[in-house]
Amino acid sequence: MASLSSLGVGSGLDAETIVTQLVALEKKPATDLTSLNSKLETKVSTWGKIQSNFSALQDAAGKLTDATFWNATKGSSSDDTAVSVSTSSLAAPGSYSVNVTQLAKEQYIASKAFTAKTDPVGEGTLRIELGTYSLNNNVAPPAVTFNAKVAATAVDISIGPGDNTLEKIRDRINTANAGITASIVNDASGSRLVMRGQSGEENAFKVSVTESGAPGLSDLAYDASTGATSNMTRSQEAQNAKATINGLNVSSAKNTLNDVVDGVTLQLKKVTTTPANLTIEQDTASITKGVNDFIASYNSVVSTIRTQTLYDEASKTAGPLQGDSTARGLLSQVRSLVGSSTTASSVFSRLSDIGIDINKDGTLAMKSTKFNEAMKNPTELQKFFGNSDEADANKNGMAQRIRNMTKLLLGSDGAISSRTDGIKSTIERNKDQIERIDKRVSLVEARLRAQYTALDSSIAKLNGLSSYVSAQLAALSKNS
């Protein structure tokens, strides 16, 4: 007899539905575990958000414990177009009068005009030396001498037949690391090779030429020393920046002065006719921002935990961590900490003393007027937030306490990691159980299908026999 193509065809029973429902009953525990794992995965993700919020709070609190944060300064200039100022935490508040008498400049020299940049110039060796041109007025007539820079070494640049055009010589100079830069300037007269040094009188330079092969390279010689050869023209002389700061003469090879006043960088932009008055003062705006960042980070922690553990009566829905004792404990711990007092400062003991109030929902809010008043005592404010005392925890500042607490919470064996690891372990156990259930269900389904297939076949045979007997009886009755 041919095999049946579908359960129930031979018997007329809805065997497929029966088997499907029986298999579903067997698989229900795995289905329930899959649904549970989905909820657990949501919990893991939620704990990840809480961990991220605590990490941000740790960073914000850590900033308030850093001495450089409280030493932040800012500078202003009465004439920013002449002298601009920037500061670091090393700068001390003060006032400075800056008079710029000379800006630092680079030496520029230019060759004669050539017809084109592809014109051959000549062959040989260019020697470039850095140094200082000095004027000696003690001789008659006054003489100029060149003094080589002690820290520099002369650079020889060979110019062969393949390098002797104006543009090739420019490229050879720029790759020689000689302390100067070459370029080509095109004007109405033709193409000129221009060489530029670095700023500062010690970065002046001379170019010596030794010709070999095709002549003409000597057109690029330059030496401003008395009696020396100068076939190139100097359009700008190298010089130092010169200024007075509160009457003190200063000189620099660059127009950026970052070593004259501790923690202060001055950018000289132009010669002054009247002094630029600079003011260095505490950067209260950056301090206020840092404290506000701390408040915002703390509020994110509180709001996130409250939302994730909340049961919403209106929508009849619970947060992923509703009823989670660890989450509720963390919320209670952090709220208790910010509500506590500290002896780190002799002036401020609670957040409310500096204008930071605790709202009914546990979040913090700053009262600007009171905080600005507290800012007038920066030393005690710094102690209130950042003081650290290993011997007496009561003397730890508020930010230091938060930092210590978050460090423990975020550690590998902290409450957050432990809770998350526990949930992940449950998920893995559930996955293993689901796998075992699926294997058992597969065997049950195979057995049921085999049983119903056999039943289907048996009923089909019986139905066939019944039809045969009925036909025979009908025939006998007709013939009698």
pLDDT for 6-42, tens place per residue?
A: 555 445 566 778 878 887 888 888 888 888 888 889 8
Question: What's the half-sphere exposure (Cβ side, CA atoms, 13 Å) at 466?
Answer: 7
Query: 218 or 435: whose pLDDT is higher?
Result: 218
Please report the pLDDT score of residue 480 as a whole number: 62
Cα angle value 111/113/114 (rounded, 5°): 110
> Quick one: which of 340, 406, 405, 346 has its CA closest to 381?
346
Query: What average pLDDT does this structure show over 240-269?
Result: 95
Question: What pLDDT does residue 458 have?
Answer: 73
* 352 phi, psi to nearest 5 deg: -65, -25
pLDDT for the residue 60: 96
> According to the model, what pLDDT value does residue 464 have?
65
The tens digit of pLDDT for each residue in 411-427 reads: 988 999 999 999 999 99
Token pair of 57 as six digits: 């709070």
Mean pLDDT, the chain, whole residue set: 90
Amino acid at 352: S
- The structure tokens listed for 282 are 């505490």
Alpha helix segments (H runs only) across 310-397: 325-338, 368-374, 378-386
Asked whether residue 319 carries a pLDDT value surpassing 90, the answer given is no
Q: Which tens digits make up the pLDDT trace of 120-149?
A: 999 999 999 999 999 999 888 899 999 999
**259 band by pLDDT with thresholds 50, 70 and 90:** confident
Percentage of the chain with pLDDT > 70?
Answer: 95
Helix pair angle (415-479, 325-338), 10° resolution: 160
pLDDT attached to residue 314: 78
pLDDT (average), residues 164-182: 97
Instruction: Decide which of 320 and 130 is more confident.
Output: 130
Residue type, 282: Q
3 three-class SS? coil
pLDDT at 1: 38
Q: By the 8 A CB rule, do 114 and 191 touch? A: yes
DSSP character at residue 122: -
> 16-25: long-range contacts (C-beta < 8 A, 24 or more apart)?
18/452, 19/445, 19/448, 19/449, 19/452, 22/444, 22/448, 23/441, 23/444, 23/445, 23/448
